[in-house]
Chains A and B, each alone.
Chain A
């Protein structure tokens, strides 16, 4: 991925900032500036909570170039509490524990490195929702 693209998408990548449509109220992630529901302009930023549940998941055994050394890893569609689906990797979880409906939360994690001298790419991933421990 290019440095410029990485920089350009940092807000959504690091803090899950999308948009809200001022016309129909649709909450959008990723941001796209034109609402796909009502086709009106939608440029107002909206920060998502990062909480959601697993909508679907898969353990990948064959990975694209740049991701080989991380395989096998678990990817998922997450249904965010505010509505949209987002595609992401799961982390901090045993693949046998993953199930549809599992509560998860967004964390920032290293995604991959582009070689010794290349970019180190960070991104959102989702982990099982941490439970509050009674003190």
Chain B
């Protein structure tokens, strides 16, 4: 298997892009990443997306984005894994290059969520869950996270205000990210006062519904070095699954897929949680941030929230998370999110993270989760000296 590096990154700002379509956003990110990599034409393009069929009545995104980006003829496919579609597209690109099938491959994540009214977008999002036994019962995707948060508070003795640190940290880091959706600070008081979506999950526990696209170009590390490209190597790439329905799990408070994919990634990289300098995790809701920290081995069960309470997740903390705003404040254009995480981690490892630059960081981990924990994609990235 060949050693793989990220040789180009591109992203659009995350937000409500009323003037721009799904294809406009995807094309912009693809072209930006190709320019950054100084590559004209990749061997293949994998497009991560979750909702285009439901919200834009558009499928066949691989061919569409390739054509609009001037890559007509290239191998191009859409990859879907709910909210983990972006990182899943990267996984497929990694497999293609590592296996020697292709030399230079792109992964692009794109999502357009604001062409529809919010009830329709809410209905689209619940398709990440079990359509018959969760969706048809009237549960929203937010409600599934609310069931997790309520049980977590009950089992481990927390109040909803204890989760505020996750949202406050994300907003604080988004202020300095020009591509972030919510570039303003929030306070503990604002968190306490905000309106409920599905109790105990409030507006400020939840990531923003948004449009956006992000892309990366991969090549063998050998290719990157021969062409003098600034590179960050992929030390690990791993996917694991769990039941789609929350009620089918032995302990819903254990994100088994997240735990398994992290363990596989650690084994591939020959590293452990102590070696990770920062973690771009899947904070779609504050409870997901807590459970992800536990699943990836940064806290024991019931202790994930404590990292936020003690502010160990800030840029100066023991394990910085959401360094450019995370899903909460950068925004969560679902199928694009996994690639935003990887673009931001690459910025940190290249020393291009601006005011949020972590000093001396060498290893970063990203984890993108689909559904209420049904699929998790973990990547470990390492700076090449």
Contacts and interface: CB of A to CB of B under 8 A. Distances in A.
Interface string A34-76: 0010000000000000000001111111111111101001011
Contacts of A89: 137-138
B151 A55 contact: yes
A59 B199 contact: yes
Interface stretch (B93-101, B242-250, B262-270): B242-250
A48 B341 CA distance: 44
Interface stretch (B30-38, B126-134, B343-351): B126-134
Interface stretch (B10-18, B43-51, B78-86, B116-124): B116-124
B149 to A, nearest CB: 8
| Interface pairs A-B: 6 shortest CB-CB | A58-B146, A85-B247, A56-B151, A56-B147, A65-B123, A64-B123
A58 B201 contact: yes
B136 interface: yes
A48 to B, nearest CB: 13
A64 B151 contact: no
A58 B198 contact: yes
Contacts of A127: none
B255 to A, nearest CB: 15
B151 A65 contact: no
Nearest to A1: B136
B123 A77 contact: no
Given A56-B150, A60-B140, A60-B198, A9 B247 contact: no
A88 B137 contact: yes
Contacts of A85: 246-249, 252
Contact of A61 (B136, B138, B196): B196
Interface residues of A, number: 35
Contacts of A58: 143, 146-147, 150, 198-201
Nearest to B202: A61
Contact of A67 (B138, B195, B201, B246): B138
Contacts of A30: 132-133
Interface of B: 118-120, 122-123, 126, 132-140, 142-143, 146-148, 150-151, 154, 195-201, 243, 245-249, 252
A56 B187 CA distance: 28
Nearest to A28: B248
A60 B200 CA distance: 9
Contact of A111 (B136, B148, B154): B136
Given A5-B132, A55-B151, A87-B247, A60 B138 contact: yes
A98 B113 CA distance: 34
Given A58-B143, A67-B138, A87 B246 contact: yes
Nearest to B136: A1
Contact of A100 (B139, B142, B154): B154
A86 B139 contact: no
B150 A64 contact: no
Contacts of A63: 119, 122, 138, 140
A127 B174 CA distance: 44
Given A63-B138, A64-B140, A111-B138, A9 B132 contact: yes
A67 B199 CA distance: 17
Given A58-B198, A60-B140, A100-B151, A87 B120 contact: no
A59 B147 CA distance: 10
A87 B252 CA distance: 12
B119 A64 contact: yes
A90 to B, nearest CB: 11
Contacts of B196: 59, 61
B136 A60 contact: no
Contacts of A66: 123
Contacts of A1: 136
B139 A75 contact: yes
Given A57-B147, A59-B199, A63-B138, A87 B133 contact: yes
Given A87-B137, A87-B139, 15 more contacts: A56-B252, A58-B143, A58-B150, A58-B200, A62-B118, A62-B198, A64-B122, A64-B138, A65-B119, A66-B123, A75-B143, A85-B246, A87-B147, A100-B150, A100-B151
A120 B197 CA distance: 27
Nearest to B146: A58
Contacts of A5: 132
Contacts of B147: 56-58, 75-77, 87
